Amino acid sequence: MSQKGESINHVTLKLASFEGPLDLLLHLIKDAEMDIYDIQISSITDQYLSIINRTGQMPLDAIGQYLVMASTLMEIKSRMLLPVIDSEVVEDEIDPRTDLVEQLIEYQHFKNASNKLESMASNRSDYFSKEQSCTPKEVVDEQPLVIPGLNLDVLQNAFKRVLVKQVERQPVQKKINVQSFSLADKITEIEQILVCSNGRLTFDDLFEHPMVVSEIVLTFLAILELSKLDQIKLKQTNSYEMIQIIKVEV
């Protein structure tokens, strides 16, 4: 295992550079060249706390989430430092790091999805065609998606918001029944929801139930596809209001 992480220049790291505590943890793990499935929790906790302690004045709501993670790390560290009394009992116990590792992996998926959307926003041409069926990997070059009165950046920010909300709501999604969806399935589902909602709902309404990241991404892409096919209109009166999804009547 590399000791690179021991020599991190903490002064150069600022919390403002990170999107949250999981983002900071991923940075520390990558910098230390650790296996995410076998985190050296004692070392990572010490590095994390060192950065927190060197942080200057920050708003309480901004620093709060980092302090919550700090307490979680310290709890895991203390549990792993407890002496082993009965080896047979220990074999049956769950690794104290398990929940944290699953949160980090889920957040990695979020980051990857977010980066993919940023790439899509930059070239504005990688969207699904009407004939294409179905998985987020099957992307083709087309004309840019243009939504009157609503740019893709607004949608991208809304997408990031619901992703963060889902991660906070269900950080470890063990009880979610993961189903295999296609883009066509998700489009049909949204159309049915619109019918039951009198042809109008908010963007956030589609993300109210717990979802894994892949389903969130697919739902977002289905919204884009429906808009491009002129089957829905996306409307936002001002930047403070939720995006409205309105069914286009034929």
Q: Taking 70 as the threshold, does the pLDDT of residue 210 lie above it?
A: yes
Start-to-end C-alpha separation, the chain: 62
Do 111 and 208 share a domain, yes or no?
yes
Last residue of a domain, one of 73, 92, 111: 92
* Lowest-pLDDT range of 4-8, 33-37, 68-72, 152-156: 4-8
**Residue 26 shares a structural domain with residue 107:** no
The mean pLDDT value of the chain amounts to 73
Q: Find, among 54, 62, 70, 66, the residue nearest to 14 by Cα.
A: 54
151 shares a domain with 29: no
CA distance 232 to 224: 9
| Pair (34, 111) in one structural domain | no
pLDDT of 60 reads: 55
Please report which residue ranges of 170-212 form alpha helices under DSSP H.
Answer: 183-196
> Residue 246: what pLDDT?
93
With the C-alpha atoms ordered 116, 231, 201, 132, is the resulting torsion angle positive or negative? negative
d(C-alpha 31, C-alpha 103), whole Å: 19
pTM: 0.48
Question: Where in the sequence is the domain holding 20, given as residue range(s)?
Answer: 4-92
The domain boundary residue, chosen from 66, 92, 118 = 92
Backbone angles phi, psi at 167, to 5 degrees: -65, -40
